Structure 1
Amino acid sequence: MFRTKERVWGGMDREKMDKMEIAAKTGDPLTSPAEGLVFGVWDDGRMAQDFRKRLDAALQGEVSRILDNGEFKGTPNDVLFLPTMGKLSARYLVLAGLGSREKTSPELIRKVSGTVARAARSRNLSSLASTLVSNDGAEPEHVSEAIVEGTLLALYRFDHYKSTDKDKKEKNRKAGAVSKDFASLHLFSSREAEKKVRKGIEWARAILRGTYLARDLGNHPANIATPSMIAQTASVECQKRGIRFVSYDREKLEEMGLGALVGVAKGSMEPARLIQMEYRPSKAANAKPVLLVGKTLTFDSGGISLKPAEKMETMKGDMSGGAAVLGTMMAIADLGIPLWVVGLMPATENMPSGTANKPGDVLRAFNGKTIEVINTDAEGRLILADALSWGVKTFDPALVIDLATLTGAVTVALGAHAIGVLGNDQKRMSEVLEIGESVGEKGWQLPLFEEYFEQIKSPIADIQNVGGRGAGTITAAAFLSHFVDEKPWVHLDIAGTAWVESDEPYKPKGNVGIGIRLLTHYLGKLSEDKDLRKPEKRESRKK
């Protein structure tokens, strides 16, 4: 196995994140010893509470001079670092633009906090204190979570394969430039809000653990993050949390009748896996589980229907749906969410070889449906078909949610800013869309009319795996609908949102770790859903 810097799975970044001090504070923020003290400024020059007046008193009117002269306009994501010259305990006063008061939201706070964190890191600061929880009308729990997430997601780094880091650090040391790790983040609020702030911090930490791991898995090259190694990682994380874990190998998959998954896997030398995780707390609110299924293509070359060479290296991230399922299972267990949840990750590569699927081949899925393979690059829906139908048959779930970097068509339709949402249960889709909007992982619903099902009819099999050029995201979902046995089902196509090509406020270039925040909050809401608490009908169970 290839190793670098004596680690494979990116534990250093996650370990530093876990060790970082994140605390709720209720004292006077102007006495904070943090190196950077953050205050929000709206585009009308106003600041929360009496902060502007107090800062002017401490800094001889410098803040008002800057704001009144238009040197800082409070535009969203604008950041200004002012040296305090010893007049405050903090080294820098940090002004963070919030834009319009009416449009301030947790997602804006997340982005602003990310921008501040990136600027702080460029100045080699090791600590920040934020007063953004104190903004008028802010919901302390949601805002505190957004501050922590924005800060730490922005600070995430993936440099595991840079062999020059050690030499660079030694050179900096000799020059007297010592790079410091980010050590602390303090959130100032009123005493009345302190409990909610602590809860927001707790949720953020749990979501961040899962997101950091998901980003690591998606950023590692495919020769490291193989199906076997992802299964190994999932096993370790499940064992830490008491989550039941099973990994099925190819021989077992063939025995189980997962012909579509095996069909995709047979072109690769890397053994396929079906990873099963079951979180069932003693006080679970639901009589039947929620089933999460995530596409886990550790590398997608397109198979015999080979992809173009340009950007093919990003296809190591085609396992982002599976990574989101793993990260979500970690988060809900860490938070103790009282909900029975099963996670499935069908993991394989899609490679061309003498044993690979060919266009025109017919595969038999777990539920008995036959599939004509028109294009081997539409393999994600094949492995999901088996995972969905096997999961539905095995666990009889109350709700099914799948995530997949499934279609390029969703990027054409929605760009990089929205998840494609489809399914067969409007109530559940609407709930997912609402949660996504509130946590900054927005979605947009696409139709699933009966006419689209005509496009995936095959002349020689039950269905075919592509439906022509038009409505590619929709026909992919129409295909998957054949494998959920009419269970309530929501499909999330994350192909456009799973990867960014350049740095964004809290998204460094590379894998985003999309979906974990959305799913964790949604499952938290579902744990309070009375419909899921209905007692199970024993007679149907006996069948």
Structure 2
Amino acid sequence: MRSVAASALAVALGLAVLAPTSAEAQIRRQNQASATIAGVQSHIAAAQVNRPVTFAAQAGAETGTLILPLSSEGELAARAASMDPAVLQSVQRALTSANFRYGARQTLALRGLGGWDRIVVVGLGANPSMDDVQGAGAAAGRMLHTDSAPATLWAGGLPADQAAEFLTGFGLGEYRSDLHRTTGREQAAPGVLTVVGADAARAQFERRGRALIEAMAWTRDISNEPANIVYPESFVDRARQAFAGVPGVTIEVLDVPQMERLGMGALLSVGQGSARPSRLMAIRYRGQGAPEGGPIALVGKGITFDTGGISLKPGAGMGNMKMDMSGAASVTGTVLALAKSGAPVDVIAVAALAENMPSSTAARPADVVTAMNGKTIEIISTDAEGRMVLSDALVWTENTFNPSVVVDVATLTGAVGGALGSEYAGLFTRHEAMADQLQRAGLATGEPLWRLPLHPSYARYLSSSIADLRNTGDGGAGAGTGAWFIGEFVRPETPWAHLDIASAAYGGASDVRPSGSYGYAVRLLERFVLDWTPIARERGAGGY
């Protein structure tokens, strides 16, 4: 124990006096942060406003925007049967003049025809997939996302499932990421979208489509928020608010003292340099008619801001590290979508939440910590922090819930982007059936996964002379060694997959996506959970 005299001498010399326990240090830093935050009036963003949707058997007055989804020229006359013949002829001429190909997500806006402010033609593509249809809807939504005028969708002749997917995509496309702008958000609430000729799509859209739109907006919002507004504790608060009143949901949250008692040295090492105390949150939804056999567990990396810690990142682009909690946001958003739609599933979202900051109390390179399962880890880089929080979260999830399957989701490595670019997320698994089911879900939702190897040789890159393993290796397979490390904390017989979404989670705006967070993996995981076919619990032999 440090003597009083020694402490006094340290103070006199201007040296830091270490708190006797990490729990006390966390409490002290939390109080300091609370005092600072109390003097700051944060700007709270307006909630995302979704356009109201109604269904009608026949078209009403020509006003606002008319939306025409088409797969071919031949569909125009049938879908626009009630259109004034002169206007229809003008639309046909415009499409011919523009050499419109009716490809998926292709758009053409026409003004000054009939009583419409504009007519928007959206291509669906020949034999469109559900992703094509939803993407076409998103393209239309992006075109109208700042328009407060009413809109009409002529959907007669579209199959009910396609009409519902188009509407879902439209709602996703209308999302706005300008959360904290004080100008440019003054327009009136968006006008009603009237869907004509697709009443059979109403039930599917109301049950599942609306839930997915709301869950994606929540996921994008919380990922886009700056770290002075969203940090581990406020992430938990926002999740509680989002799930308030939703049937079948239970929420459990572990604070720092609880995690210390459980021996979560890996997770706690990441947040120990921050004034924001770490949290581990589990949200379980059990719907009516859910199958027995253990829940599906979705575990997300939730680094609410990642400076790299003592292994400090370069300043350029560091602001994007507010979205290093995209994995936790996506798994939480997935369960929110499933719960709000009343899906007959048993699913858990586990969010491993911490802020990675440099300070006199931060973990250092060469420190050794002990994870919940007793394995010791030599910290080579404090910037390899995502795998640290996931390791304890995965052990706790298996011990607590005995899940039938585990998928972890993380913005883990820059290396995955070098391998796959931004169009794919990386998939790692030891179980072939896991790869099949996840890749099918990815293709169906437009969030494709590319399987990368889990080669046994990666183990030697993580070998340590002082501990059981190192948190990063010397080899070039950065994404693979990161996945291998995480796999060390999952039972070999558990069907498990790791999704590295670092290159796909956020970026610039496109014809179907907003700038900032894409909400990547929510649609993929929602489909995966709904379509899940149980896999035998046996030691995985695949992966390379």
Establish whether TM, by shorter chain, passes 0.5. yes
Q: Which residue of 2 aligns with 1:541?
A: none
Residue in structure 2 matched with residue 163 of structure 1 by the alignment:
182
5+ residue gaps, structure 2? 1-36, 538-544
Following the alignment from structure 1 to structure 2, what is the Cα–Cα distance between the partners of residues 195 and 54? 20
> 78, 82, 85: which is aligned to 1:50?
78
Residues 531 and 76 of structure 1, relative CA distance in 2, 3 Å threshold: closer
Counterpart residue number, 2:163: 144
TM-score by length of 1: 0.85
Q: Could you say which residue in structure 2 is the equivalent of 1:539? A: none
Moved more, 49-58 or 436-445: 49-58
Report if the CA contact (8 A) 1:433-1:442 is conserved.
Answer: yes
Instruction: Write the distance in 1 (CA, Å) between the matches of 2:386 and 2:53.
Output: 39
Equivalent position of 1:111 in the other structure: 135
> Aligned pair in 2 of structure 1 residues 429, 362: CA closer, same or farther (>3 Å)?
same
Q: Distance in 2 between matches of 1:32 and 1:465?
A: 64
**2:159 pairs with 1:129:** no
Offset of 1:380 from its aligned partner?
0.3
Cα distance, 1:51–1:231 mapped onto 2, change above 3 Å: closer
Distance 2:481 2:534 in 1: 33
Q: Deviations over 1:8-31 (max 9, x none)?
A: xx4521xx22xx322344x244x4
2:52 pairs with 1:21: yes
Alignment partner, residue 538 of structure 1: none
Letter in 2 for 1:108: D
Contact 1:300 1:349 (C-alpha < 8 Å) held by counterparts? yes
Aligned match of 2:274 in 252, 262, 268? 268
Query: 1:257 aligned to 2:292?
Result: no
| Conserved? CA contact 2:58–2:197, under 8 Å | no
Q: Does 1:309 align with 2:315?
A: yes
Looking at structure 2, the residues matched to 416 and 331 of structure 1 have their Cα atoms a distance apart, in angstroms, of 25
Q: Which residue in 2 is equivalent to 1:94?
A: 120
> What's the CA shift for 1:72?
4.0
Q: Distance in 2 between matches of 1:290 and 1:341?
A: 5
Which aligned pairs between 1:63-102 and structure 2 lie closer than 5 A? 63-70=91-98, 72-83=100-111, 85=113, 87=114, 90-98=116-124, 100-102=125-127
Secondary structure at the aligned position of 2:180 is classed as coil
Q: Is the Cα contact below 8 Å between 1:260 and 1:386 reproduced in 2? A: yes
Matched residues in 1 for 2:349 and 2:326: separation? 14
Q: Deviations over 1:215-235 (max 9, x none)?
A: 111111101101110111122
In the alignment, which of 349, 354, 359 is matched to residue 348 of structure 1?
A: 354
Counterpart position of 1:281: 287
Partner of 2:426: 420
> Residue 153 of structure 1 aligns with which residue?
172
> Of the candidates 48, 68, 71, which is equivalent to residue 39 of structure 1?
68
Amino acid paired to 1:65: R
Q: 1:430, 1:505 → 2: CA distance?
A: 29
- What are the ranges of 5 or more consecutive residues in structure 1 without an aligned counterpart? 170-178, 535-543
Q: Which amino acid aligns with 1:35?
A: G
Q: What residue in structure 2 maps to residue 208 of structure 1?
A: 213
Structure 1 distance, partners of 2:393, 2:270, is: 13
Deviation of 1:431 after TM superposition, in Å, equals: 0.5
Aligned positions, number: 497
1:537 — aligned with what? none
Q: Distance in 2 between matches of 1:144 and 1:506?
A: 17
Q: Which stretch of structure 1 is more off in the superposition, 464-473 or 510-519?
A: 464-473
1:210 Cα shift? 1.4
Amino acid in the other structure paired with 2:336: M
Partner of 2:509: 503
Contact 1:4 1:161 in 2 (8 A): no
**Partners of 2:134 and 2:346 in 1: how far apart?**
30
Structure 1 Cα separation of the partners of residues 191 and 236 of structure 2: 32
What is the identity, as a one-letter code, of the residue corresponding to 2:181?
Answer: K
Please give the alpha-carbon distance, in whole angstroms, between the structure 1 residues aligned to 2:82 and 2:246.
Answer: 47
Residue by residue over 1:124-158, the C-alpha shift from the partner in whole angstroms, topping out at 9 and shown as x without a partner, is 352322235734xxx532x2343223222222123
Question: Over aligned residue pairs, what C-alpha RMSD do you find?
Answer: 2.5
Per-residue deviation, 1:236: 2.2
**Segment drifting more, 107-116 vs 225-234:** 107-116
How far apart, in 2, do the equivalents of 1:283 and 1:105 lie? 29
2:177–2:515 CA contact under 8 A, matched in 1:
no
1:368-414 Cα shifts (integer Å, max 9, x gaps) = 11111111100000000000011111111110111111111111111
CA contact (8 A) 1:4 1:160 kept: no
Cα contact 1:211–1:513 (8 A) shared by 2: yes
1:464 Cα deviation after fit: 1.0
1:483 CA drift (Å): 0.7
Provide the rounded CA distance (Å) in 1 between the counterparts of 2:112 and 2:207.
32
Closer/same/farther in 2, CA of residues 519 and 45 from structure 1, 3 Å limit: same
1:521 lines up with 2:540 in the alignment: no
Query: What is the alpha-carbon distance in structure 2 between the residues aligned to residue 415 and residue 133 of structure 1?
Result: 39
**How far off its partner does 1:313 sit?**
0.3
Deviation larger for 402-411 or 179-188: 179-188
Paired residue secondary structure (1:158): coil
Q: TM-score, normalised by structure 2?
A: 0.85
Checking the alignment, whether the CA contact within 8 Å between 2:152 and 2:194 is kept in structure 1 is yes
Cα-to-partner distance string for 1:474-522 (whole Å, 9 max, x where unaligned)? 111111111111211011111111101x211221110111111111122
Please point out which of 195, 203, 207 is paired with 1:187. Answer: 195
CA distance in 1, matches of 2:394, 2:100: 53
Give 1:269 shift.
Answer: 1.1
Structure 1 residue 161, shift from structure 2 partner? 2.4
Is the contact made by 1:402 and 1:490 (CA closer than 8 Å) also made in structure 2? yes
Residues 1:469 and 1:308: Cα distance change in structure 2 (over 3 Å): farther
TM alignment of 1:330-409, pairs within 5 A: 330-409=336-415
1:78-126 deviations in Å (ceiling 9; x for gaps): 43333455x46x443222234x524x3332333332332333345x352
Letter in 2 for 1:416: S
How far did 1:196 drift?
4.3
Q: CA deviation at 1:452?
A: 2.0
Instruction: Report the Cα distance in structure 2 between the residues aligned to 1:477 and 1:184, rounded to whole angstroms.
Output: 46
Secondary structure class of the residue paired with 1:129: strand
Q: Deviations over 1:151-194 (max 9, x none)?
A: 2222212333223458xx4xxxxxxxxx333232233445xxx4
Identity %: 32
Residue 174 of structure 1: aligned partner:
none
The verdict on how the C-alpha distance between 1:107 and 1:282 changes in structure 2, with shifts beyond 3 A counting, is closer
Deviation at 1:203, TM superposition (A): 1.4
AA at the equivalent of 1:348: A
Q: 1:120 and 1:336 mapped to 2: Cα distance? A: 30
Other structure's SS at 2:214 match: helix
Q: Look up the match of 1:176.
A: none
Q: Counterparts of 1:487-498 in structure 2 under 5 Å? A: 487-498=494-505
Deviation of 1:361 after TM superposition, in Å, equals 1.2
Question: SS of the residue aligned with 2:47?
Answer: helix
Give the alignment partner of residue 484 of structure 1, picking from 490, 494, 499. Answer: 490
Residue identity in the other structure for 2:188 = K
Q: CA–CA distance in 1 between the matches of 2:156 and 2:432?
A: 35
